[in-house]
Structure 1
Amino acid sequence: MADSRRSPPSVWRNPWHFLAFGFGSGTLPKAPGTWGSLVALPFIPLLQLLPGWGYWLVLGLGTLFGFWLCGRVAEDLGVQDHEGIVWDEMVGMWITLWLVPPGWQWLLLGFLMFRFFDILKPWPIRWIDRHVHGGVGIMLDDVLAGIFAWLAMHALLYGVS
C-alpha cells in the first residue's frame, strides 16, 4: 500500500493523476487541500460567465467525473483517499461560489467558508468521510462542504428570514 503523504511520480506522467492532483497542486508538502482549493479559484470568473444553469451543469458533470477520476486514481495508487487528490476540493470550491456575485471579496470569503467546513467536517460530512469509500466517498464530503459553504454564503448575501 502506498503512503498517502508522498506524492507519486505518476502525477507528472499520467494525465488522470495530474488532473486529480489539481494540476500538481496536491503534490505540495503542506495542506494540499488548501492548495487545491486555491487552484480552483481562477476557474470561478470563467464559470460565472455561464448562465446559472450552465454553471450548475458544469458542477454536476464535474462531480460525476470526479466520482470516476478520484476512484480511479486512488485505486491506481493503492490508497483509499490520497491527501494529494484535490479534484474534490476544486469541485467543492466551485459549488461554494455558484450564483455568488463576482469580485475578489466573494472569492476570499467563499474560500474561507469552504475551508472551514472542509476542515471542521460537521455532521453529516464527517460521517460520510469515514463511512463512504471509493471515488464517491472521496468526492461526497467535499461536495457537502461546498453545499454548506454555499448555504452560508447565500445566507450572508440574502439574509436569513
Structure 2
Amino acid sequence: MSETLTADATPPVVLRPTLKFLLAHPAHFIALGAGSGLSRGAPGTVGTLWAWAAFVILQPHMSDLRWGALIALSTLAGWWACTVTAQHMRIADSGHIVWDEVVAFWLVLWLVTPAGFWGQLGAFALFRLFDAVKVGPMAWADKTFKGFGPRGGFGILLDDFAAALCTLLVIAVWRY
C-alpha cells in the first residue's frame, strides 16, 4: 500500500496489489492466495491453478476428515482475510482476492476424487466458466452480498461456493 495518504488520511484504493501489500498483513497473504492473486492477467484463474497444484500435493496426505476440516477452517480464515483485504484495498471484491477460488475449488476436487487428470481438468474448466460468467446463483450471491465488512467478505466467498455447487451438479448429471 502506498505510504502517501490523501488529505483526509484515507489510504488510496489499491487497484493492483504488490508484493509489499501481500506481505504487509497475514490477511493479505491468505486472501491473495499466497501471491497467486498478484498475477497481472486472470488472477482468478491463476488462483484456481494454485489451488489445484496445492490439492495434488496435499492429497496423498489427506483423509476425508482432514479435507473437510481444512476446507471448513480455510473458509473461516478466508472470510476474515477477504474482509480485511477488501477493506485495505478499498475495493469490495477485487479480482486479485483469490482465496475464494482456492477454497471453493478444493471443495470441488475433494468431492470429485478419485477423478484423474482429465476429470479434474473438466472440473477446472466448469468451475472457471461458472465463476467467470456469474449467472443464476453466482449473480445472486455476488449482488446480494456486495460491500465491505463481514457481509462483504462472506459474499466474496459465497459466489465461488455457488460456482462450485453448479460445477458439482453438472458433473453429477454427466456421470449419471
* Contact kept? 2:74, 2:103, Cα under 8 Å: yes
Deviation of 1:49 (Å): 4.6
Deviation of 1:3 (Å): 4.3
* Contact kept? 1:125, 1:141, Cα under 8 Å: yes
Deviation of 1:75 (Å): 1.1
5+ unaligned residues in a row in structure 2: which ranges? 1-11, 147-151
Q: 2:73 aligns with which of 61, 66, 77?
A: 61
Residue number in structure 2 paired with 1:27: 38
Residue number in structure 1 paired with 2:17: 7
Matches within 5 A, 1:74-93: 74-93=86-105
Deviation of 1:20 (Å): 1.2
Residue 38 of structure 1 aligns with an amino acid whose one-letter code is L
* Contact kept? 1:33, 1:83, Cα under 8 Å: yes
Partner Cα distance (1:72, 1:152) in 2: 33
Relative contact order, CA 8 A, sep 6+: which one is greater? 1
Deviation of 1:32 (Å): 0.7
Deviation of 1:154 (Å): 2.7
Residue number in structure 2 paired with 1:146: 164
Q: 1:137 aligns with which of 155, 159, 167?
A: 155
1:115 equivalent to 2:128? Answer yes
TM-score by length of 1: 0.87
Partner Cα distance (1:40, 1:10) in 2: 21
The worse-fitting range, judged by mean Cα deviation, of 6-15 and 36-45 is 6-15
Deviation of 1:15 (Å): 3.1
Aligned residue for 2:21, secondary structure, equals: helix
5+ unaligned residues in a row in structure 1: which ranges? none
1:156 equivalent to 2:154? Answer no
Partner Cα distance (2:22, 2:14) in 1: 14
CA RMSD after TM alignment: 1.9
* Contact kept? 2:36, 2:47, Cα under 8 Å: yes
* Contact kept? 1:96, 1:149, Cα under 8 Å: yes
Larger Rg: 2
TM-score by length of 2: 0.80
Identity among equivalent pairs (%): 36
Residue 130 of structure 2 aligns with an amino acid whose one-letter code is F
Deviation of 1:57 (Å): 2.6
* Contact kept? 1:48, 1:55, Cα under 8 Å: no
Deviation of 1:48 (Å): 6.3
